[in-house]
Structure 1
Amino acid sequence: MIKVENVSFSFPQKDLFHNISFTLEEGQHCAFIGASGSGKSTLIEIIIDPEKYLFDGKLEIAPHCRIGYVSQLSQLDQQGELTVFEYIGKEFLQLQGEIASICTEMETSSDIDSLLEKYQQALDAFQAIGGDDFESNINKKLNLANLNHHRDLMISKLSGGEFKLIQVIKEMLTGSDLMIMDEPDVFLDFENLNALKNLINSHKGILLIATHSRYLLHHCFNKVLHLENKELQEFNGRYIDYNFSLLQSKIELQELSMADTEEIERNEVLIDRLRANATYNSEASRGKALNARVKIQERLEARRIKLPFVDIKQPEINFTIEKEMEETIALKVKDYSVAFDDILLEKVNFEIESTDKVALIGPNGTGKTTLLREIFKNNHPSIEINSDISVSYLSQLQGEMINEDNTILEEFFETGFKTEQEIMSYVSSYGFSEEIVRQKIGSLSGGEKNLLQIAKISVRKANILLLDEPTSHLDTYSQLALEKAIESYKGAILMISHDYYTIANCMDYVLIIENKTVRKMNIRKFRKLIYASHFNKDYLEIEQKRKALEMNIQLALNDNNFVLAKTTSEELEALIKLS
């Protein structure tokens, strides 16, 4: 259906990918992964509209291939007054209306041949997108996404997450041969994310989905495309199997790399000895021996194992505080209420202590972001922040906390850095290279902007971090780095998140929004609640064992104990076969 062969593309300031190749064929549900800023969205745009880009290589798309697309960005406010059914069925209803109009016209027209041709064209188009069963198919998809009760609701009344699912359903039902989605999971609450999983797994056509959602990666997809460090590799199989193959490669390559390193070190000793001898003895044979050994060293250096996919550097996220505090109440919310057209929250009460790590969760559109923003502003009578506490805020609206017209350098000069060298030293640990720091922030990917926000709040050394969807757009490596930083942070965190993994791995407890107020739940109970609803009964146990084995492999590799690493990887392989 789609064949990409030796495609290369660069922006003036950055090479994105070089000589990449892959195919997409019938029955494939493909996860498209890679670090933030690696070029996934650009490659998607090239596939959708190749005429717009000047690229090297070949892109072959089967004739009459119909491509559907769901972007990262929701356009809810541009949809006008349509019901959910009318929005999903717009193309079907238009063709249905056209067919009815032609039939009416044929009753009185003398130009029957022309009308019959129009009628056949409209009928063919209608049948090509499954028009005969379109109403039944819409109802089935709405039921699958648990949105059947919204069938006659105005689009404008949907939450952003619900509208994203409606967009997915619309594209799935209009006969696309290939459906492409660019991070469709961003900002979806867990119920909607689970609905997206169901929609993906029920779809019969080809899917190409760029995602960093660990939930989707572990529960959907039979193929993986991994774009990293300007290279791409494809893997036919599940994401969990792909991850295991990377781990096996890491063991093999690290062992080879260690052997190469030892050989290089031995050769360096010989070169130093030959160079010292040549200094005191000018015989031509000694100079030739030295030159020969130097050439051997150059070949060894040139063949050093390169690890574009298995040795991906995590950003070094580090949340620190100026001064650790004794255990005290850091934040108190008492009888807080907020309403827009309807009451969202009413008489909300909770307290957070100075080292509590708390997740604020609930369906999309229930007032979570409004509450977090009010806490940051700290001018609401129902909100009290300890006077000794400093606060930093990460917004899901990235332009709210970073100036997208600034370069990265300009943004960090505004935080108090004095020199470019200081800024470069700091941001390089977050993965920002010298070529990127002079770009406008607006040109960065969504994941890079979020990582930049994280780097910026880290500078402030605040006692409370207010994090609104901090994992959104972040690649999986950055998500893991963020989790490590949260675990080691000595202050308090109040975090809005729909990422089950981050909540389960890092938080002390959750505040769940229900019936316009919040209730406290410990992590153990929260995990049981989620697993009962969305995972099979063995998943938790297998997942915990898998993580422990992966950690043991990494510890063995840190000690260059390759025998133990290989033995443990065999245990891991047996466990993966159970999942």
Structure 2
Amino acid sequence: MIKVDNLSYSFPQKDLYNKISFTLEDGQHCAFIGTSGSGKSTLLNILMDPERYMFEGKLEISSNCRIGYVSQFSQLDKTKEITVFEYIGEEFIKLQNEITSICTEMETSSDIDSLLEKYQQALDAFHAIGGEDFESNMNKQLTLANLSKHEDLPVSKLSGGEFKLIQVIKEMLTGPDLMIMDEPDVFLDFENLDSLKNLINSHKGSMLVITHNRYLLNHCFNKIIHLENRLLQEFDGRYIDYNFSLLQSKIELQELAIADTEEIERNEILIDNLRFISTIHTEASRGKSLNARIKIQERLEARRIKAPFVDIKQPEINFITNNVLGETIALKVKDYNVAFDDILLENVNFELKSTDKVALIGSNGTGKTTLLREIFKNNHDSIEINECVKMAFLSQLQGEMLNESDTVMEEFFNVGFKTYDEIGSYLLNYGFDEEIIHQKIGSLSGGEKNILQLAKISAGKADLLLLDEPTSHLDTYSQIALEKAIENYNGAILMISHDFYSIVNCMDYVLIIEDKTIRKMSMRKFRKMIYAGHFDRDYLETEQKKKAVETKIELALKDTDFALAKVLSEELEELIKLL
């Protein structure tokens, strides 16, 4: 289906790929992963429109390959008054009308030959998208996505998550040979995410999907392409097995790297001794010995273990609070109501203590973001913020909290940093090196912008963090770093999230929106609810045990205890079998 061979590509300010190669075969469902800003979306753009890009290397795509595409940025057009059926069936309806029109024209025209040719072309296009079975296939897909009652609903009435699923269905039903999707899971609620999983797994053609969603990664793909440090690695198999192979490689390579380093250090001592001796004894043989030893050192340095896929860039997120509140109430919401065309929320009551970490969950379009914004604005009679509390807000709309015309550097002068060196040193911990901090924020990837928001929040030392989908666009390594930061934070957090891994790993309890109000739910009940809809029994507990063993392996590697790391990796392998 696709063959990429030794492809290299650069922006003026950044090298993206260095001689990367991979293949995608007919019927494979491939997850495309890598750290934020590594160039995943750009590579998809090159595949879809290679003529626009000046790249080196070879790119082969089957000549008859039809590509379907779902963008991460496509927005619902609230002004377009068409139904779900009319939106999904746009191409089908157009061809059907064209065929009918040609048939009508043939009844009175004398130019039958040209009309027959047009008729055949339209009929071929109709067959190509499965026109005979289009309506029944559409109904099957809508049922699979739990949207069977939405066929006659105006598109403008859909939630953002529902519209994303409708886009996926529309592209799938045209029968593409290759389906390309760029983070189709962003902002989907739990039920819609499950529907997306069903749609992906039901698709018979090839797929190339950028995703950082751990649920989809673990349940949908049989091939992994990993882009990291300008290089690419492909793996035939499940994501969970790929992660395990990465960890095993890390254990082996770090052991070899330490042996290499020790040998290089020993050789350095010999070179120093030979240099000292050659200053006292000037015989030619001394110089030859020194030169020979230097060449050995150069060979040792050249062969030193390089492991781009185990040396993964992970931000060091660190939320800090002045922590002057002690144990008190940070936020109180009493008899809160909000309505637009319809009532969204009514009679909402809850409070947050100064160290509570709480997830706000509910279906798309139920008012979660509206409530979070109202709390941040703090000008509503039903919302009371402790006067000592300093708040920070992470927005889904990244341009709301970041000035996209600023450079990364300029943005942090506005936060209170005084010098370039101070900003550069701070941002290095978040994965922003010198080539990035002088870029315009608007040129960054979605994941980089979210990490930038997290860096700004951390620098502000707030006591109450209001986080609206903070894991969206983040790669899995950054998601794990965020979870660690939340666990270590001493302030209060109210977080909108559809990522049940982050909720289970970090939150004290859940506030769930149901029937236009909010009720408190314990983590135990939340787990049971998630199991019922998404997982086999004990899945998340096994996931947490897996994470705990992985953490122990990382600590063993820090202590260079490779024997313990190998024993733990065997324990990890047994847990993976349960998943």
TM-score higher than 0.5 here? yes
Deviation at 1:21, TM superposition (A): 1.0
Deviation at 1:298, TM superposition (A): 2.3
Q: Matched residues in 1 for 2:78 and 2:360: separation?
A: 30
Q: Matched residues in 2 for 1:277 and 1:522: separation?
A: 73
Deviation at 1:466, TM superposition (A): 0.6
The amino acid that maps onto 2:262 is: E
User: In the alignment, what sits opposite 2:100?
Assistant: 100
Deviation at 1:364, TM superposition (A): 0.8
User: In the alignment, what sits opposite 1:409?
Assistant: 409
The amino acid that maps onto 1:107 is: E
User: In the alignment, what sits opposite 2:156?
Assistant: 156
User: In the alignment, what sits opposite 1:557?
Assistant: 557
In the alignment of these two chains, the number of paired residues is 579
The 5 A counterparts of 1:417-432 are 417-432=417-432
Q: Matched residues in 1 for 2:19 and 2:184: separation?
A: 27
Deviation at 1:78, TM superposition (A): 6.8
Deviation at 1:539, TM superposition (A): 2.0
User: In the alignment, what sits opposite 1:321?
Assistant: 321
8 Å Cα contact 1:79-1:155 kept in structure 2: no
8 Å Cα contact 1:395-1:468 kept in structure 2: yes
User: In the alignment, what sits opposite 1:118?
Assistant: 118
8 Å Cα contact 2:144-2:195 kept in structure 1: yes
8 Å Cα contact 2:70-2:171 kept in structure 1: yes
Can you give the 5+ residue segments of structure 1 that lack an aligned partner in the other structure?
Answer: none
Deviation at 1:416, TM superposition (A): 1.1
Q: Matched residues in 1 for 2:560 and 2:440: separation?
A: 42
Which secondary structure does the structure 1 equivalent of 2:437 belong to? coil
User: In the alignment, what sits opposite 1:523?
Assistant: 523
Deviation at 1:102, TM superposition (A): 1.5
The 5 A counterparts of 1:239-254 are 239-254=239-254
Q: Matched residues in 1 for 2:189 and 2:245: separation?
A: 31
8 Å Cα contact 2:323-2:490 kept in structure 1: no
- Runs of 4+ in structure 1 deviating by more than 4 angstroms, as ranges, are none
The amino acid that maps onto 1:516 is: K
User: In the alignment, what sits opposite 2:272?
Assistant: 272
Moved more, 129-138 or 292-301: 292-301
User: In the alignment, what sits opposite 1:225?
Assistant: 225
The 5 A counterparts of 1:242-391 are 242-391=242-391
8 Å Cα contact 1:392-1:464 kept in structure 2: yes
| Alignment deviations for residues 14-33 of structure 1 (CA, whole Å, 9 cap, x no partner) | 00111111111111000000
User: In the alignment, what sits opposite 2:502?
Assistant: 502
8 Å Cα contact 1:391-1:462 kept in structure 2: yes
- Provide the TM-score with structure 1 as the length reference: 0.98
User: In the alignment, what sits opposite 1:138?
Assistant: 138
The amino acid that maps onto 1:2 is: I
Moved more, 318-327 or 168-177: 318-327
Which secondary structure does the structure 2 equivalent of 1:331 belong to? strand
The amino acid that maps onto 2:134 is: F
The amino acid that maps onto 1:37 is: G
8 Å Cα contact 2:274-2:289 kept in structure 1: yes
8 Å Cα contact 2:66-2:177 kept in structure 1: yes
Deviation at 1:555, TM superposition (A): 2.6
8 Å Cα contact 1:74-1:163 kept in structure 2: no
Deviation at 1:538, TM superposition (A): 4.3
Q: Matched residues in 2 for 1:531 and 1:95: separation?
A: 44
8 Å Cα contact 1:8-1:19 kept in structure 2: yes
8 Å Cα contact 1:74-1:160 kept in structure 2: no
Q: Matched residues in 1 for 2:406 and 2:84: separation?
A: 40
The amino acid that maps onto 1:447 is: G
The amino acid that maps onto 2:23 is: T
User: In the alignment, what sits opposite 1:575?
Assistant: 575
The 5 A counterparts of 1:526-545 are 526-545=526-545
Distance 1:117 1:79, change over 3 A: farther
User: In the alignment, what sits opposite 2:2?
Assistant: 2
Moved more, 453-462 or 266-275: 266-275
Moved more, 565-574 or 40-49: 565-574
User: In the alignment, what sits opposite 1:83?
Assistant: 83
User: In the alignment, what sits opposite 1:181?
Assistant: 181
Q: Matched residues in 2 for 1:254 and 1:266: separation?
A: 18
Moved more, 12-21 or 552-561: 552-561
The amino acid that maps onto 1:424 is: G
Which secondary structure does the structure 2 equivalent of 1:76 belong to? coil
Deviation at 1:162, TM superposition (A): 0.5
Q: Matched residues in 2 for 1:162 and 1:261: separation?
A: 54
The amino acid that maps onto 2:575 is: L
User: In the alignment, what sits opposite 1:192?
Assistant: 192
The amino acid that maps onto 2:253 is: L
Q: Matched residues in 2 for 1:193 and 1:438: separation?
A: 37
Deviation at 1:274, TM superposition (A): 2.3
Deviation at 1:568, TM superposition (A): 2.5
| Alignment deviations for residues 254-279 of structure 1 (CA, whole Å, 9 cap, x no partner) | 11001101111212222232233233
Q: Matched residues in 2 for 1:127 and 1:569: separation?
A: 52
Which secondary structure does the structure 1 equivalent of 2:426 belong to? helix
| Alignment deviations for residues 78-125 of structure 1 (CA, whole Å, 9 cap, x no partner) | 772110011001111111111111222222222222222221111111
Moved more, 557-566 or 482-491: 557-566
Q: Matched residues in 1 for 2:87 and 2:22: separation?
A: 34
Which secondary structure does the structure 2 equivalent of 1:528 belong to? helix
Which secondary structure does the structure 1 equivalent of 2:448 belong to? helix
Q: Matched residues in 2 for 1:81 and 1:127: separation?
A: 28
| Alignment deviations for residues 178-225 of structure 1 (CA, whole Å, 9 cap, x no partner) | 010000011111111111001000100101000110111011100001
Which secondary structure does the structure 1 equivalent of 2:374 belong to? helix
Q: Matched residues in 2 for 1:546 and 1:13: separation?
A: 39
Which secondary structure does the structure 2 equivalent of 1:493 belong to? strand
Q: Matched residues in 1 for 2:516 and 2:150: separation?
A: 21
Which secondary structure does the structure 2 equivalent of 1:307 belong to? coil
The amino acid that maps onto 1:400 is: E
Q: Matched residues in 1 for 2:96 and 2:26: separation?
A: 29
Deviation at 1:323, TM superposition (A): 3.3
Q: Matched residues in 2 for 1:426 and 1:315: separation?
A: 11
Deviation at 1:349, TM superposition (A): 0.6
Give the superposed CA RMSD.
Answer: 1.3
Matched, 1:17 2:25: no
The amino acid that maps onto 2:464 is: I
Moved more, 554-563 or 250-259: 554-563
Can you give the 5+ residue segments of structure 2 that lack an aligned partner in the other structure?
Answer: none
Distance 1:208 1:455, change over 3 A: same
Q: Matched residues in 1 for 2:547 and 2:114: separation?
A: 67
8 Å Cα contact 2:182-2:209 kept in structure 1: yes
User: In the alignment, what sits opposite 2:393?
Assistant: 393
User: In the alignment, what sits opposite 1:62?
Assistant: 62
Q: Matched residues in 2 for 1:407 and 1:253: separation?
A: 38
User: In the alignment, what sits opposite 1:74?
Assistant: 74
The amino acid that maps onto 2:557 is: L
Deviation at 1:532, TM superposition (A): 1.7
Q: Matched residues in 1 for 2:280 and 2:366: separation?
A: 82
User: In the alignment, what sits opposite 1:480?
Assistant: 480
The amino acid that maps onto 2:283 is: E
8 Å Cα contact 1:407-1:437 kept in structure 2: yes
The amino acid that maps onto 1:251 is: I
Distance 1:329 1:78, change over 3 A: closer
Which secondary structure does the structure 1 equivalent of 2:23 belong to? strand
The amino acid that maps onto 2:411 is: E
8 Å Cα contact 1:84-1:151 kept in structure 2: yes
Identity %: 77
8 Å Cα contact 1:335-1:382 kept in structure 2: yes
